[in-house]
Structure 1
């Protein structure tokens, strides 16, 4: 059996397992990796290099930093400052603070952290604030290299290809 057909069977089994939801996804991916390793489709040094991708490590550290931010009283104070005005002003305050936070931390973690702020708002319904919160996080995340996980992963692929790394505040390779 050729490697291509074997890989297709492994991927189909992985997708079927993910869709069924009966097995933990981490176990499924580990099993798929082990099958690929046992059938000599991937070398161990290549796999270990992928696990130590600097973009992935940076992403994990940013999520940890956002989790630590969520544990502080800063978000509670932010909730009091943001939600005490009219809806347009509240949306503007929420949008600016979210965009600023998500440009320097991971935008997914920022949204997860600020959902509690939106939920605790006594003046406006969360349904009116959640979509603007998401849009502001997306916008803020695109402003810097560390704002979204996609930028970090693409930058690590760019560096691995031997090209100049993306600049912190630019969406094109830096020439410095």
Structure 2
């Protein structure tokens, strides 16, 4: 049976993954992520195949929302929003946060709003953590 060029490529990625797992035992997620990325970039694996292989589409959505919120934490926009929402008065902060959450939840997914606002609330310098 004759192997095609794509079969050799997939075999090389497979062997490289095994070698990577042996060499980088503390970082298996990185090894598998790189292998998947190589297969995706080479168009060996499609986006639909990746999504269908995951056990739960809801989990994929949640992971993507968390990644977006982590990216938003790094932006200046979220710091500006946090400066407008968080004040020294607890009641003022609560009212502003409530208003912001109501308005943004009307337009965005609630999970995204909550996960995005977690870091500014957690890093609030004015109020003690309870």
TM > 0.5 fold call: no
TM-score, structure 2 normalization: 0.43
- Larger C-alpha radius of gyration, 1 or 2? 2
